[in-house]
Amino acid sequence: MDYIEPHAHMISRTTDDYQQMALTGCVALSEPAFWAGWDRQSADSFEDYFRQLTEFEPTRAAQFGIQHYTWLCLNPKEGENRDMARQVLARIPKFLQRPNVLGIGEIGLNRNTLREMETLRDHIALALEHGSMILIHTPHLEDKYKGTKLIIRTLQSFQNLDPRRVMIDHAEEHTIEMIRDNGFRCGLTLYPNTKVSLARAADIIEMHSAEGIYVNSACDWGFSVPVAIPQFILEMRRRKHSEATIRKVVYENPIAFFSQASNFYLSRACESVPGNVKELAYVD
Ligand SMILES: [Zn+2]
């Protein structure tokens, strides 16, 4: 089954991973800007990183027939450094018009501090100023519930923000309702240890429906599985879910969300998918 990987940090993965993703049906992916594993020393490092995400990584993905999209920001962990945040934010606009940029992300909170909140607000303002979509990272473990609540409140304090243009990621059982009830799109991250297991993701969809839900691997330099989505497809099939339900979660929902960005299209001809107007236009 064709699928779209909405959250993968491919700069820290090998070409073998790209190959496995292509072989298992991945046709497109989106790569949010994230924490490098260490705190960067200057805004110049981010500028190089943004070039990597918008110039080099798309060409690497293309070798495997995978379309590469990306999101730009200074991540929540380094958002604590307000000086650096201001300098990085000033450099983002010149990259926003590049052909594979979908918007601002992954922004959000890490330890729910005041400085992180200020950096989050700056990023949201920047996204709205440029009409960009937003990808949100929510904090881990004990900070998740409070952090998700704070993030939603912060997003809602911007009056012209359309929640359908915001995906709130790393949702879990206790945060999914507040995300969807407030109109936001919702991401489940399939991780081998932390976050959501394959079984928990399938349980969540059985309890809450597939409406507005996306699954992703969030694969990076840590323990993570770049082919977590095809593994999830197997888990759903094992539970006898219809191909239509599975396809909605792994393909149609991401297309419906990404298609809100004017530069998103799927080059591979597929049958008509609701919301994928640009795909049809392109095939024409
Ligand atoms: Zn991530």
Alpha carbon distance 268, 26 (integer Å)? 11
- How far away, in angstroms, is 84 Cα from ligand 1 center? 20
Residue 231 tokens, joined: 């593994």
3-5: strand order across its sheet: 3-5, 26-32, 67-72, 101-108, 133-137, 166-168, 185-189, 213-216
Report pLDDT digits (tens) over 62-112: 999 999 999 999 999 999 999 999 999 999 999 999 999 999 999 999 999
Residue 126 pLDDT level (bands cut at 50, 70, 90):
very high
Task: Give the pLDDT confidence score for residue 257 in this predicted structure.
Answer: 97
Say if residue 284's pLDDT is above 50. no
Higher per-residue confidence, 191 vs 56: 56
Residue 194 pLDDT level (bands cut at 50, 70, 90):
confident
Report pLDDT digits (tens) over 13-64: 999 999 999 999 999 999 999 999 999 999 999 999 999 999 999 999 999 9
CATH number of domain containing 86: 3.20.20.140
- How far away, in angstroms, is 95 Cα from ligand 1 center? 20
- How far away, in angstroms, is 162 Cα from ligand 1 center? 22
- How far away, in angstroms, is 34 Cα from ligand 1 center? 6
Report pLDDT digits (tens) over 214-267: 999 999 999 999 999 999 999 999 999 999 999 999 999 999 999 999 999 998
- How far away, in angstroms, is 189 Cα from ligand 1 center? 9
Report pLDDT digits (tens) over 132-183: 999 999 998 788 999 999 999 999 999 999 999 999 999 999 999 999 999 9
Name the pairing type of β-strands 213-216 and 26-32.
unpaired
Task: Give the pLDDT confidence score for residue 277 in this predicted structure.
Answer: 43
- How far away, in angstroms, is 276 Cα from ligand 1 center? 25
Number of compact structural domains in the chain: 1
- How far away, in angstroms, is 74 Cα from ligand 1 center? 12
pTM of the model: 0.93
Domain that holds residue 113: 3-283
- How far away, in angstroms, is 83 Cα from ligand 1 center? 23
3-state class percentages of the chain: helix first, strand second, coil last, to nearest 5 = 45, 15, 35
Residue 105 C-beta-side C-alpha neighbours within 13 Å: 27
- How far away, in angstroms, is 284 Cα from ligand 1 center? 35
